[in-house]
Amino acid sequence: MNTAQKGFTLIELMIVVAIIGILAAIAIPAYQDYITRSQVSEAVTLGGGLKAPLAEYGAEKAAWPALVANGTAATAGQLNATISGNYSTVTSAIGGTYPTGTVITTMTTGNASGQTLFFATTDGGSTWDCKSNGTLVTKYRPNACKN
């Protein structure tokens, strides 16, 4: 009698399940970090987008403006800006006395929620640094903001 094997043995199925489990254990944390880094990119965009308008305002008035949300009428000493997004917000005031200043972006959701990223200048906005400031974990920072 010839009996042909049909299907998979239990050990073969267990090996496949173990391999899938190992791959998932590696892939899920990496994917979560990827998602968090993409959310942090919004904070970088919000803070980075303020560099030029702030430098221009500072050069003209020798002072930093208060930030107000787009759609709100800006009065003297204020600057319209996009100050909140889906994952982060920018503080409504620029810290420091002109020409030294700091723009603070705070993550509001995700794994980095509550962590901050600072954009700092000491020369009235000609150059900005985001490397050594804020509480954002290094692995979530963009390459330009890593020490």
CB contact burial 69-106 (16+ within 10 A = b; e otherwise): eeeeeeeeeebebebbbebbebeeebeeebbebbbbbb
Maximum distance among all Cα pairs of the chain, rounded to whole angstroms: 97
Q: Residue 140 corresponds to which tokens in the numbers above?
A: 């979530």
pLDDT tens digits, one per residue of 50-79: 999 999 999 999 999 998 888 888 888 898
Instruction: Please state the pTM of the whole predicted model.
Output: 0.79
In one-letter notation, the amino acid at residue 141 is R
At 74, give phi and psi (nearest 5°). -80, 135
At 13, give phi and psi (nearest 5°). -65, -40
Q: Residue 53 corresponds to which tokens in the numbers above?
A: 């308008």
pLDDT tens digits, one per residue of 97-142: 999 999 999 999 989 999 999 999 999 999 999 887 789 998 999 8
pLDDT tens digits, one per residue of 77-106: 898 888 899 999 998 788 889 999 999 999
Give 6 or 137, the one with higher predicted confidence.
137
Q: Alpha-carbon dihedral of residues 33, 39, 43, 49, nearest 10 degrees?
A: 120
* 106 closest CA partner among 97, 119, 96, 121: 119
